[in-house]
Amino acid sequence: MAKDHGPSVKDDENYDALREEGASKEKAARIANAQANDNVRPRGTRLEERSKDDLYEEARKIGIEGRSEMDKEELIEAIRSH
């Protein structure tokens, strides 16, 4: 059973998992809350709704290797798994 982190964390189990992976308390809370609210959408849109150029830029910013050879679906998968 996950520890109760209070009302500021909406998904304690996800928060604990993120903390174990090395995320800061703030980042883990932000991600856990966004996922609990089904609000994980970079720039307010679903990845599938973004252009390939926009996805490429996102991949560049987060340092995904091999992005120039990827198609749109591969970029989406790489961003999600990063």
Name the strand (E) or helix (H) holding 25.
helix 25-36
pLDDT reported for residue 75: 95
Shared domain for 49 and 35, answered yes or no, is no
Round to whole Å and give the CA distance between 7 and 81: 28
pTM over cut 0.85:
no
Shared domain for 31 and 62, answered yes or no, is no
Q: Is the pLDDT of residue 41 over 70?
A: no
Shared domain for 6 and 36, answered yes or no, is yes
Q: What value does the mean pLDDT take over residues 46-50? A: 87
Tell me the percentage of the chain whose pLDDT exceeds 90: 30
Q: What value does the mean pLDDT take over residues 70-75? A: 96
- What is the span of the domain harbouring residue 25? 1-40
Instruction: Provide the number of structural domains found in the chain.
Output: 2
Q: What value does the mean pLDDT take over residues 24-36? A: 81
The answer to whether the CB of 80 falls within 8 A of the CB of 55 is no
Q: Is the pLDDT of residue 31 over 70?
A: yes
Shared domain for 9 and 33, answered yes or no, is yes
Round to whole Å and give the CA distance between 64 and 58: 9
Shared domain for 76 and 51, answered yes or no, is yes
